Structure 1
Amino acid sequence: MPGTRRLTALVTALAAISALATACTGQSGGAAADDPGAEVVLNFWHGWSAPSEVKAIEENIARFRAAHPNITVKVTGNMTDDKIHQALRAGGDKAPDVVSSFSTDSVGKFCNSGAFVDLNPFLEKSGIDTAKVFPPSLLNYTRFKGNQCTLPLLNDAYGLVYNKDAFRAAGITAPPKTWSEFVQVAQKLTKAKGDSYEQLGLMPTFHGYETTPMRLAAQWGPAYFGPDGRSNLAKDPAFTSMLLAQKDLVDKLGGYEKLERFRASFGDEWGAEHPFHKGQVAMQIDGEWRPAMAKEAGVTFEIGTAPLPVPDDQAADYGKGYVSGTIMGIASGSRKQNAAWELVKYMTTDTEAVVAFANAIHNVPSTVEALASPKLQVDDAFRTFLDIARHPKSSTTPPHADGGTYQLTFTDLGYQHEKGAVPDLPAALARTDAQIDTDIAKAE
């Protein structure tokens, strides 16, 4: 699921999850006693809503049913995290047994509150070594303090999508690999038009759809928390370097106010009027879905994809990026956890199921075998994102007990800094650390 939609889901989910801490009274994985071979009906809730996505889910469930004819799966789609959390709190026969969520940032709260059961006993019973099945970057966002309360179900990788025709017109022969090259290319691709733009090399502000502080920070290899578990923004120079680099790019492309006026003319991120589709921007920080969406929108230019650039002093790490994804877990209130595990195991670890689902909704597969499957439909544009997902230094934001609140706090700092409202960045980072630590202490 695209990141901006994840962030929206996160904001609505955080308050709801906190109420689960005292409402979850289900069985642990080791205590699940239901017979997975008995006739049973599972309630499976997910957030997908597009016809192609719903069809893909139905096809996967049909394959599962062929192998497990005793398990009927009642599927409910287009469920927001808020509705899911309300149902989990209420419990009862209509509550979901199995949940798929787009809010990877909420894993810390899912695990910490007991909303989802720890899957480690189920994994051990099934002989599944998660370190061999899933890329490490995906495991990082599906567990918290040893509690593997979710598993990955497809994932997203973020890179650079660019207009090859605009590159050729500007005499640029290859996508930039380092940040200094990135700045030069963005400037070269920018064409002024009065007090606005005919074409902007890149919209660098943090309101620019997927251009979030977290996406950019990943290229610097940051450590959000120190060994003591406390927020690490002020101590890790990666955050200062990223914020200064982004602010410098904002200034060189015309300044915050001019850029924001131009951004006001942009169309919807998920529609045909996206600024990349219309040629308003020549480069876009985005996920694996963008090339296909651009083609569906009828763009006439050639599309290229590449990893995001890295800081000049980390050139050897070029190819890495930010990764995220969808997660799947078992509700702690379910009395059908062994049967639920069969569904979760199938959808998250069966290579055929993962590949078929990835092909159907144009997401990156979430297992090592699926990433290498010859049945995976891959073109040059999509291959870039597969490589990013496989890169050993690709990373994500770590789960925490406050869900993704710390990311929202960090993003607020980014909003203030890019418009020049932060005169003392070290002090602002220290204050942000203090706020994050306070929020986490309350959550714990």
Structure 2
Amino acid sequence: MPPPRPRAWPTVLLAVGLLLTGCANPSVGSADDDPKAPVTLKFWHGWSEPSEVKAIDKSIERFEKLHRNIDVVATGNVNDATVNQALRAGGDKAPDVVSSFTTNNVGQYCDSGMWADLDPFLKKSGLDKKKLFPNTLLEYTQYQGTQCALPLLADAFGLYYNKDAFAKAGITRPPRTMSEFRKAAAKLTQREGRHVKRAGYMPNFRLYQNSPDRMFAQWGPRYFDAHGKAQLAKEPRTRQFFRTMRQLTDAQGGYGALERLRQSFGDEMSKQSGFMTGKLAMHLDGEWRGLMLKEAKPDFDWGVAPLPVPDKQADTYGRGFLTGTVAGIAHSSKHQNAAWELLRFLTTDTDQVVSFANAIHNVPSTNAALNSPDLDADPAFRTFLRIAKNPHSQALPPSTTGGQYVTALQDFAYSVESGKEGDLDAGLRALDRQIDADTVQAEN
């Protein structure tokens, strides 16, 4: 997917606000339509880059050749807030099929009823969702038993590393455990006096894709208990995570020195970014970065590997954080059966999923597509395919508050890394109370 998705917190928060105010009773559509009758469907999506729009348009062309009676009118560059406003209003101008670049709001889509329950459509079509989709992707498209979305390509996160810097430092392979990670980061760090000129790895949570939940996934944490209560304070892996991040920071000169270096970086998407300019020897990022690096042609050799894992979980090496685009049917659509034909094609047709994944360099989202011989054979891309297939890989659990609990974790992580959070245990307990209070407010 395009890199802007992971950075789109203002859009996510706006979407949360819209969902929490007056959307409990969405407009009612109909699943009584004849999918073979002539119809025009409105499909809203978030892709905006020319190559991406071209790829989704070609997907629609393939669908229309198979379904001559269905005309699809696609509208791109649409964010969650706009979709939610349209679905709340209903009417003829609202979309029939919708997609979102974030999994964070799935809990709200399902809980509010704005996205239709897809289990009846899957059953009617004889599709076994547990065989179709990897379990992790299936989990982030449902909430409390309601399957209101399906995966539409995925993103996996791994470790990009500068092979030239590794060779000069005498490091023969990417680190696999957190202790190896810390040692490699320290060895790769270059200093001039008190200033860091190159970081082996920058753990600062404000850096590009470094939202804390992405590295935290390497521990395999549980955010909520069986009753939906936040349990970050009770989860021992939370403390292990923050302790490891602190150790990584201290091994390379401390938070202040790394933060000064971070502020010297150019935009994430530019040739002046930290990794492109050689100021970062290792960097957390998604599968799309490989294609961008190929096109940019940096003056060093680079490689990709899974992110390291905690030493006591060495057998889970190969795991990573997963997220992706999700798609569903608007509950207000009066053409839900026809809409299902489009959604089914986009999300379950193996040839379509493989073609789309190759076109925009994203991870395919079905088991069959992940194992297709027609996938891009690029070694870097294949690394992310293995991460996506790893049974220990983790996505964020859906919540009725959308991305609020992730934002709360981010804010807390900023305070911890900068030293403003003096008592980690007390801070985690307060964080849990905040998340639980937000959940109660959302449910009421």
TM-score normalised by the chain length of structure 2? 0.97
How far did 1:8 drift?
A: 4.4
Matches for 1:299-318 after TM superposition, within 5 Å? 299-318=298-317
1:33 corresponds in structure 2 to 32
2:414 corresponds in structure 1 to 415
Contact 2:7/2:209 (8 A) holds in 1: no
Query: Matches of 2:7 and 2:385 in 1, distance apart?
Result: 21
Query: Matches of 1:41 and 1:159 in 2, distance apart?
Result: 41
2:195 corresponds in structure 1 to 196
Coordinate RMSD, CA, aligned: 1.2
1:370-398 deviation line (CA, Å, top 9, x unaligned): 00111111211111100000001101110
Matches for 1:26-425 after TM superposition, within 5 Å? 26-27=28-29, 32-425=31-424
Aligned sequence identity (%):
53
Letter matched to residue 97 of structure 1: D
Judge which range, 76-85 or 155-164, deviates more.
Answer: 76-85
How far did 1:150 drift?
A: 0.3
How far did 1:194 drift?
A: 3.9
Structure 1 unmatched ranges of 5 or more = none
Contact 2:102/2:323 (8 A) holds in 1: no
Whether 1:22 aligns to 2:21 is no
Query: Matches of 1:92 and 1:289 in 2, distance apart?
Result: 37
Structure 2 residue matching 1:335: 3-state secondary structure: coil
Contact 1:109/1:400 (8 A) holds in 2: yes
Query: Matches of 1:300 and 1:218 in 2, distance apart?
Result: 32
Query: Matches of 1:373 and 1:280 in 2, distance apart?
Result: 37
1:50-88 deviation line (CA, Å, top 9, x unaligned): 010000001000000000010000000011111111211
Structure 2 residue matching 1:374: 3-state secondary structure: coil
Letter matched to residue 292 of structure 1: L
Judge which range, 249-258 or 1-10, deviates more.
Answer: 1-10
Contact 1:104/1:325 (8 A) holds in 2: yes
Query: Matches of 2:272 and 2:48 in 1, distance apart?
Result: 21
Letter matched to residue 229 of structure 1: G
How far did 1:198 drift?
A: 2.6
1:271-291 deviation line (CA, Å, top 9, x unaligned): 222211111101100111112
Contact 2:197/2:261 (8 A) holds in 1: no
Query: Matches of 1:286 and 1:423 in 2, distance apart?
Result: 30
Contact 2:196/2:253 (8 A) holds in 1: no
Query: Matches of 2:278 and 2:118 in 1, distance apart?
Result: 46
Contact 1:201/1:282 (8 A) holds in 2: yes
Query: Matches of 2:232 and 2:439 in 1, distance apart?
Result: 15
Letter matched to residue 16 of structure 1: L
Structure 2 residue matching 1:21: 3-state secondary structure: coil
Contact 1:348/1:354 (8 A) holds in 2: yes
Contact 2:157/2:322 (8 A) holds in 1: yes
Contact 1:179/1:310 (8 A) holds in 2: yes
How far did 1:260 drift?
A: 1.3
Query: Matches of 1:6 and 1:158 in 2, distance apart?
Result: 17
Query: Matches of 1:185 and 1:350 in 2, distance apart?
Result: 43
1:5 corresponds in structure 2 to 7
Judge which range, 18-27 or 73-82, deviates more.
Answer: 18-27
Call closer, same or farther: CA 1:8–1:380 in 2, change over 3 Å: farther
Query: Matches of 1:197 and 1:297 in 2, distance apart?
Result: 25
Contact 2:199/2:258 (8 A) holds in 1: no
Contact 1:26/1:331 (8 A) holds in 2: no
1:2-21 deviation line (CA, Å, top 9, x unaligned): 45335443223211222352
Contact 1:20/1:85 (8 A) holds in 2: no
The ranges of structure 1 where at least 4 consecutive aligned residues each deviate by more than 4 angstroms after the TM superposition are none
How far did 1:22 drift?
A: 3.4
